[in-house]
Amino acid sequence: MQFQQILGQTEAKEHILSAMQHDKLPHALLLCGAEGIGKLAFATAIAQYANCMQPLANDSCGKCANCQRSGQGIHPDISFVLPIMSKEEKGKHILSDAYMGDFRKAFLQDPYFSLEQWQTFLDGANKQLMISVHEMREAKRKLLLKSFSAKFKILIVWNAELVNEKGANAFLKILEEPPERTLILMTSSQPSRLLPTIISRCQRLFLQKLSQSEIATGLQQFNGLPLTQAQQIATIADGSMVNAKGYLEESGVALNDLYVHWMRANYAGNYVKMNETIEKVYKASKEFQRAFLRLAIKKMRDSVLFHLNVSQLALVTEEDKIFHSNFSKVMSVPKAEMMLQETENALRYIAGNGNSQMVFMALSLRLFGILRG
Ligand SMILES: [Zn+2]
């Protein structure tokens, strides 16, 4: 990828470009930050720039043979390590190279795809993804090969916190003293889970959450969403493309309608309808569940704005207006505060792997209590 294709991250781009132009790029870089902000995309842009034959001041040229190959993810001097499920076939360990074709396709289609999407793709919903010692040995072997055509031998480790201890140990020496012209780029959304031996050998670069307009641009660019829908989703995505896409994932279920049905059921204290709606939520992916709760938080706030007669401050559609004008009649500021508190708690429980069915049922009942209290 080129830097210009990456959403936001202006500061990090400038920092990296300046380091590369002054030949001061560390040989091992750890890209940290929340999920869905483009760490992997950023790593590929660094790799492409490092090997570009005619780099510009602020980006790779995008045209030379190295850029062409990097852009398609097929540069022989740029290799990837991906988390996969541990598997053997005919006595041989399957390594992430076996999945590179699919990974490339997914990445080229949407450079902001998530680890959870990758896991679903590998059909490993309940299995642990990891980066094994065999994988790290192979990565090391590749880094020690002579480069084919490029200035740098580059390794990109996606979600480096999933490298297990043996894998890390097998890799420590090369991470500490790599051959000349080697670049090791690791990404992690959970750097606190990384082994200290890895962290201490890398320079850390923190990427930022994306702004609402950057998310809206991304949804249009990579997911083909119309502007207004993209803007609406951007307001509740908390700076992450992965969060934003949680809203698109279950295309059969319109989140907005689901919220409206749910709130009506909560107000009426209709257990059957409560259960009907939340069943659709808790049976979906965790991303969808979080997306639903974030949407609920936004909608509750919008209802308060309607209640306070400042509806012009809410970013809502015509359809929303009808719901909010009605719902705001049963709202009050103290009620809204309690409801928001409960919903935010539910979001934390879900993020912390709470039992989704219980969390949503309990939340429904509490909202019922507040609305009628
Ligand atoms: Zn180039």
Residue 28 has phi, psi (to 5 degrees) of -135, 125
pLDDT in tens, 283-303: 887 777 887 898 899 889 888
| Residue ranges matching CATH 1.20.272 in the chain | 250-372
Q: How far is the CA of 242 from the centre of ligand 1 (A)?
A: 29
Contacts of 345 (CB under 8 A, 6+ apart): none
Strand partners, 93: 88
Domain with CATH 3.40.50.300 in the chain: 3-206
Residue percentage of the chain with pLDDT more than 90: 60
pLDDT value of position 236? 79
Alpha carbon distance 322, 319 (integer Å): 6
**pLDDT at residue 170 greater than cutoff 90:** yes
Mean pLDDT within 272-287: 86
Interval between CA 2 and ligand 1 midpoint (Å): 9
Name the band, by pLDDT with cuts 50, 70 and 90, for residue 168.
very high
- What the block records as the tokens of 299 is 């909608």
Cα of 180 vs centre of ligand 1, distance in Å, is: 21
User: Taking a C-beta distance cutoff of 8 angstroms, is the pair 8, 66 a contact?
Assistant: no
Residue 86 has pLDDT above 90, yes or no: no
Q: State the average pLDDT over residues 194-202.
A: 91
Say which DSSP state 202 is in. Answer: S
Q: What is the pLDDT of residue 251?
A: 43
- Mean pLDDT of the region 189-199: 90
Q: What is the identity of the amino acid at 27?
A: H
CA pair distance 105, 109, nearest whole angstrom: 6
Q: Which two tokens stand for residue 77?
A: 């001097």
Return the residue matching tokens 């990891």.
130
Ligand 1 geometric centre to CA of 60 (Å): 5
pLDDT for the residue numbered 183: 96
Q: Are strands 88-89 and 92-93 parallel, antiparallel or unpaired?
A: antiparallel
354-373 as b/e, with b when 16 or more CB fall inside 10 Å?
eebeebbbbbbebbbebbee
Of 18-22, 66-70, 237-241, 314-318, which gets the smallest average pLDDT?
314-318
Q: Give the distance (Å) from ligand 1 centre to CA of residue 72.
A: 13
Q: What is the mean pLDDT of the chain?
A: 89
Rounded to the nearest angstrom, the distance between the alpha carbon of 56 and the centre of ligand 1 is 9
How far the first Cα of the chain sits from its last, in Å, is 55
CA neighbor of 292 nearest in space, from 261, 336, 323: 261
Task: Identify whether the C-beta of residue 139 lies closer than 8 Å to the C-beta of residue 81.
Answer: yes
pTM, 2 dp: 0.75
Is the pLDDT at 250 greater than 70? The verdict is: no
What 3-state DSSP class applies to 187? strand
CATH placement of domain 250-372: 1.20.272
Which secondary-structure segment (H or E) carries 370? helix 356-372
CATH topology of domain 3-206: Rossmann fold (3.40.50)
The mean pLDDT of 66-76, rounded to a whole number, is 93
Q: How far apart are CA 203 and CA 31, in angstroms?
A: 9
Residue 205 reports pLDDT greater than 80: yes
Which of 30-34, 63-67, 224-228, 253-257 comes out lowest in average pLDDT?
A: 253-257
Ligand 1 geometric centre to CA of 61 (Å): 4
Ligand 1 centre from 307 Cα, in Å?
56
